[in-house]
Structure formats: C-alpha cells, structure tokens
Amino acid sequence: MSRVLETFLDLVRIDSPTGRERTVAESLVAMLSSAGCDVRFDDTTALTGSDSGNLLAVLPGTAPGRVVALSAHMDCVQPCEGVEPFVSDGFVRSAGETVLGGDDKVGLAAIVEAVRRLAEADAPHPDVRVVLTVSEENGLRGAKALDASECVADLCLVLDADGPVGGIVTAAPTHYTFSAVFAGRASHAGVEPEKGVSAIAMAAEAIGAMALGRLDDTTTANIGTIGGGSATNVVAPRCEVTGECRSLDPDRIEDVRAAMDAAMRDAAAARGGSVEVDWTLEYGGFSLDDTAEALRIVEDACRAIGVTPRRFATGGGSDGNIFASHGMPTLVLSSGMSKVHSVDEEVAVAELERLADLLVAVVDRARA
C-alpha cells in the first residue's frame, strides 16, 4: 500500500463534520510537523463556529522561487461519522451508510504526501505554504475568516474539484443569495377574504415573474425555499422565500440580481403588501487569464507526470473564490474524487497518487 493511500485511509476514519474539525486537524499537525513544517492555528473560531482554527503551515524553502500555496478543507458533509473505508478494484469506497470523505480528505492526503516528498528529497524547492480550512461546507466560513495577510503566494492550488487529475478550474462565479419576507394582512378566507392580503400570493407572483434555472451559458438562478401561512381558512399574512443567482459574468450577475429583486418588490406593491429583501454576496467570482504564469506552471506539471491538462469553468464556489479575492493567482484542481456528497462517493487510488505527483511537479517548476 502506498504511503499516500495509507494517509488517506487514516484521515477518512477520523470524524470531522463541519464545526468539529479539531481531531483531524491535530492529526494533520503531527504529520506536517514531522515533515519539517512550521505549523500553527489562526484564531478564527469565534467567526466560524468551529472547534478549530484554520491550520497554517510553511515548509521552508531550500532555494529561491515562487511561493506555492496548497489548500484543502478539513470538514466533510454528513453522514461522515464512523467512516469505514475499503479498497476494491482500484477504488476506495465507504463500507457503510456514510460518505467516504474524499471531499476533501483526498486534498489533505495529497498535500501531506507532497510536503513529505519535498522534505525528503535532495532537490531544492521554494517555500510551500499550506492552508487547511474549517467550515468550508457551510459557506466557506474558514476561508472567509482567514486574515488577508495569510493569503500571500505566487500560486495557490485549491484541491477541491471532482473529476480525474488534470482538470483545472480557471473561472468560478459570483454568487448572491437572498432571504425575503413578504408581509400582507390576515383575514378569514371563507368569511371575508377581500379584507385580507395574501403574502403567499405575492410570493407566487414574484416567483412567476422571475427567470429561473439556467439563464445562459454562464448564469443560473434558483428559488430554494418558500414557506408561510398557518391554516387553510386564513389569508396568509406572511411568507418567506430564499433563493440565489450565480454568474461567471460580473455584469450579468448584477442584472439578474436586480431583476429578481424588482420582481419581488413589484409583486408586493401590486397586491397591497410589502417585502423586505436581504441580499448576501456569498463570494465574488474569479477568472484567470489564459496566459497567466500560474496556469502555465500547472499545465507543464500535468504533462510532466503524463496527464493531459483540461481547463474548465465551474458554476460552483470553493475556498478558491475567497483566496482569489485577496489577489492570489488561484486555480482549483480536479482531485480524482467522484459522486461526492453521497454514500456512493469513491476515489480511484491511481488518481490519489497522481494528485500527489502533480503537487510535487508544480513546486519543482516554481523554482526560480
């Protein structure tokens, strides 16, 4: 059994649901420290609600070059407690009714293995920074809480995309969410419905006026939840709606957000009610130029290990969105995992080993 596979199996057996990452973090501290890293935690628990800070480590360089940051998140989605992995036909899967935890312990294991190899090798290497975040799965909270001074590198690799190694996310969307509360007036639905103002009817009219789903190649919009009313014989005085919109185009997203907002306000006014809409920018988008040096380095490293690089844009967000907002050239890499967030999740052993190879090859090409 390869060392990186053994590390991965050890990590997935450690419970680390969102907010309870401390145990796996302490295990990672031991691994990184023994490889020669300077390791510490930041003080962000009050902001994230986790029992651990983000784990930050540096493998000091032995030669000048571009600083490379390697990042993954320590939390997993439920059900992720009591994971018992097994290896069969070249894949790692969960033996029970849990997720495997490859998202994102594939990234954690590959980073640990890369750091170990770099520390053991005679070849010179530049500084390598390791950023392992908490609470990624519930809104990128760990990355958002991270001080901007920690987000300094010439190249940042976030190991958090599914698919075979070689996939490179070069663009990700801006993402807005909203929570709206429609207010009307209650009345008896059978005796005097004309005296009531239905908040549910307002919400329905607003939703009906919105363009939803895939709006174009780069833009989506969705209504996530709707709820209100108390009984069939009461005209509902209150209705709550949540939703979102995302786009790779920074101008398009603002147009879509404005249109959704206007649909809600217009519907409320037309029916004699009101609405309060609270918008939240979950994260800004990023797009790396086709000629960026960071992209060239990663693609050269892919070819060096016998992998064909594949560039693609995603409609999902990751810690990479946050790191990119601090000015770090950031790429999110496919890490060999598939069927994530399900009990059918699996990771090909060959992909896990290939991912560690890729990280070492990137650092080697980052030398001056």
- 136 as an active site residue: the answer is yes
Catalytic position from the list 104, 136, 299, 351: 136
Q: Token pair of 298, please?
A: 């990663």
The token pair that represents 16 in the structure block: 């680390």
Let me know: does 168 contact 287? Beta carbons within 8 Å: no
Query: Is 51 annotated in the active site?
Result: no
Catalytic residue among 21, 75, 244, 357: 75
Say if residue 246 is exposed, middle or buried (CB neighbours under 10 Å; 0-12, 13-18, 19+).
Answer: buried
Q: CA 97 to CA 167: how far, in whole Å?
A: 29
Cα 224 to Cα 178, 241, 322, 362, distances in angstroms: 10, 8, 23, 40
Q: How far is CA 73 from the centre of its chain?
A: 8
DSSP-based helix, strand, coil % in the chain, nearest 5: 35, 30, 35
Q: What tokens appear for 153 in the block?
A: 């590198």
Give the angle subtended at the CA of 295 by the CAs of 346 and 334, to the nearest 5°.
5
Q: Which are the catalytic amino acids? A: 75, 136
